[in-house]
Amino acid sequence: MSADWKMPWPRIAVEGVVIVASILMAFSIDAWWGERQRQEAEQAVLQTLLDDLLVKQVLLADMNRFNRAILESAETLLRVAAGTEGKPSEDMIDRLIGDTWWVSNEALWDSAPLNLLVAGGNLSLVSNLRLVHELAALQVAIGRVRLHYRHDAEFHNDVVTPFMIANANMAQISASMLHRPGEPDVTLVFPDLGLARSFRHSELLSTVAFQNLLVAKMERCTDILDTGHPGVERHLAEVIRMLRDELDK
């Protein structure tokens, strides 16, 4: 090596800067790519959730009509029993009793996307903290509705059905039903069993046991309509609004 050789510090410094810059650029690209993938995953989750909750919003309106129709039929039967309303035909009485025989099904409120996020502990996928809070509140509200539906189903299975089996002609009542409660435009068709329609259910209205059953059914419908559904309706509307805002960004 020559004694006159000198370390090329300027060139080494430049090369060092280039190397460091390359490393930092690689990290930046990785970070950008990772953030882009996270955003795409979040957008996909939020869109799937929005689609599901829009269906739930339609369901909520449907179940409001459904339970209100059941409640109105029970109230009509009690007014007939009390003599404060004119006595309808036996066929109409059968139809009104048939309305009170329907029941809410909590499985209607199953939401795989919402369960994945909240119950599955995946709320970290959502970057908007206010949306995270509303999603958790919606899950709680849906849980309350499901509880009210469960109470309605238990009452139906444990009380209403055994009572009707023992005291009514269920085939005659079924044959009289023209549509699902709250859906007059959707016709129900029950098989003609060829049974005589001779059971007078108007006599059932005068019994205290049946009147008590109607009052208890009304309480369950009222719990659903006045306690359960309003909370879901409020949080559902807010979450849908926030999801649309997030997806429009």
What digits encode the pLDDT tens for the residues 146-170?
999 999 999 999 999 999 999 999 8
pLDDT at 22: 59
Residue 2 lies in a domain: no
Residue 4 lies in a domain: no
Note the Cα 84 to chain centre separation in Å.
37
Q: What confidence tier does 37 reach under pLDDT thresholds 50, 70, 90?
A: low
pLDDT at 9: 61
Position 109 pLDDT exceeds 70:
yes
Q: What confidence tier does 19 reach under pLDDT thresholds 50, 70, 90?
A: low
Residue 3 lies in a domain: no
Contact by Cβ (8 Å): 144, 156:
no
Q: CA-CA distance, 149 to 66, in Å (whole number)?
A: 12
Q: Is 112 helix (H, G, I), strand (E, B) or coil?
A: helix
pLDDT at 188: 78
Q: What confidence tier does 240 reach under pLDDT thresholds 50, 70, 90?
A: very high
Domain span at residue 138? 9-248
Residue 70 lies in a domain: yes
In the chain, the number of structural domains is 1
Q: What confidence tier does 208 reach under pLDDT thresholds 50, 70, 90?
A: very high
- Structure tokens belonging to residue 116: 């994945």
pLDDT at 32: 44
Could you tell me which of 207, 133, 198 has the C-alpha nearest to residue 171? 198
pLDDT at 15: 58
Query: Is the four-CA dihedral 71, 147, 153, 102 of positive or negative sign?
Result: positive
Contact by Cβ (8 Å): 45, 117:
yes
| Ranges 99-103, 110-114, 213-217: which has the least confidence | 110-114
Whole-number average pLDDT of the chain: 85
* Residues in CB range of 235: below 8 A, 6 or more apart: 134, 137, 138, 141
Residue 1 lies in a domain: no
Is 239 or 121 the better-scoring residue by pLDDT? 239
Q: How many CB atoms lie within 10 A of CB 235?
A: 20
pLDDT at 179: 87
Residue 162 lies in a domain: yes
Residue 33 lies in a domain: yes
Q: CA-CA distance, 94 to 177, in Å (whole number)?
A: 8
Residue 34 lies in a domain: yes
pLDDT at 28: 55
Position 1 pLDDT exceeds 80:
no
Whole-model pTM: value is: 0.82
